[in-house]
């Protein structure tokens, strides 16, 4: 019997596409295609001259996107992470775009497919790569990284207060037999985490931290945000959907700084209206999933979306 396909419930679907204020003849970027929820809705708002470029590292998501690209000439799928935004747009001959959506984190199919090694709910090879065609697996990294690096990753990316004990246990275990499966890692972590928030598995924070590190998720976000500002046309929107505090903090601080004009010393006799315009302006308040969406998709509970719009102000950050 053929296994049922893994279903991806797109978070903040309507809110994110509305935030982009899609114009029929505009050019837009979907930074994480996933299974195409946001992309398909954006395409439905575009006219015949509109264009959408989507990115994804996951080969299974890419396969879905390639089928869509074969059906719709307005759509282009790039098999890479969104940190390659500027380079990919250059290769496509696109100098600027009218909107960019960044949907961060891991998708439901990646979590629910035990073979991918993202979840401690399954006993599977310890992989955790979003792009299974390249890079080091979680098992390979845990077998080779020194204890200090493992401790720092778990502490920083997982905000795990038992990081020191967990890292020491991993190094001690690999001297006997390196960790190879998600179950082995989850059991080891469980033995070294003495308290945990109600309803949260002891391995949650460690799995999150290792996944973020293996996929360079926060580094990619730091890389793409300046590129996004540099590539947005005036009036173009940037929407960022985050799923945990580390991602949201990066997006929040970046957008805050990009929306503030250069400040001069208080003694300089210049009126505020004469100061250079900031390159971005914040749009509305952060958006969270409503009760109806939370009822249908509890994983949306941690999602938060921030939106900003490109102004005519000069941008001195990286554009490529």
Q: Is 244 annotated as a binding residue?
A: no
Residue 75, annotated as binding a ligand: no
* CA-only gyration radius of the chain, Å: 21
> Is 55 within any annotated ligand binding site?
no
Give the whole-angstrom CA distance, residue 199 versus residue 98: 42
Any known ligand binding at 103? yes
Determine if residue 8 is labeled as part of a ligand binding site.
no
Tokens of 263: 């400040």
Do 239 and 305 touch, CB atoms closer than 8 A? yes
Q: Measure the CA–CA gap between 205 and 87, rounded to whole angstroms.
A: 33
82 is in an annotated binding site: yes
Cross-strand pairs, 101: 30, 239
Please classify residue 218 by burial: count the beta carbons closer than 10 Å to its beta carbon, then call 0-12 exposed, 13-18 middle and 19+ buried.
middle
| 56 is an annotated ligand-binding site residue | yes
12 within 8 A of 241, measured Cβ to Cβ = yes
Residue stretches of the annotated binding site = 36-38, 56, 82, 103, 110
Residue stretches of the annotated binding site for S-adenosyl-L-methionine = 36-38, 56, 82, 103, 110
């Amino acid at each position: 019997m053929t296994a049922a396909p893994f279903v991806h419930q797109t978070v903040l679907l309507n809110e994110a596409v509305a935030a982009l204020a899609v114009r029929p003849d505009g050019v837009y970027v979907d930074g994480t295609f996933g299974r195409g929820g946001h992309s398909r809705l954006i395409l439905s708002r575009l006219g015949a001259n509109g264009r959408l470029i989507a990115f994804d590292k996951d080969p299974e998501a890419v396969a879905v996107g390639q089928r869509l690209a074969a059906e719709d000439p307005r759509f282009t799928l790039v098999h890479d992470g969104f940190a390659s935004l500027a380079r990919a747009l250059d290769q496509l001959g696109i100098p600027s775009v009218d909107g960019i959506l960044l949907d961060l984190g891991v998708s439901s199919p990646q979590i629910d497919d035990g073979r991918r090694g993202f979840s401690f709910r399954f006993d599977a090879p310890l992989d955790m790569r979003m792009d299974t065609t390249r890079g080091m697996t979680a098992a390979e990294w845990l077998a080779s990284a020194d204890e200090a690096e493992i401790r720092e990753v778990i502490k920083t990316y997982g905000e795990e207060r038992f990081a020191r004990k967990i890292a020491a246990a991993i190094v001690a275990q690999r001297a006997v037999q390196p960790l190879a499966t998600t179950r082995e890692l989850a059991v080891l972590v469980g033995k070294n985490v003495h308290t945990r928030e109600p309803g949260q598995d002891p391995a949650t924070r460690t799995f999150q931290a290792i996944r973020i590190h293996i996929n360079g998720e926060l580094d990619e976000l730091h890389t793409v945000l300046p590129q996004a500002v540099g590539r947005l046309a005036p009036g173009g929107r940037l929407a960022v959907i985050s799923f945990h505090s580390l991602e949201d903090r990066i997006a929040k601080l970046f957008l805050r700084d990009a929306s503030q004009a250069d400040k001069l010393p208080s003694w300089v006799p210049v009126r505020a209206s004469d100061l250079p315009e900031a390159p971005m302006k914040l749009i509305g308040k952060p958006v969270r999933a409503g009760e109806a969406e939370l009822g249908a998709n509890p994983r949306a509970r941690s999602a938060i979306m921030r939106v900003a719009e490109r102004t005519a102000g000069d941008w001195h950050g990286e554009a490529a």
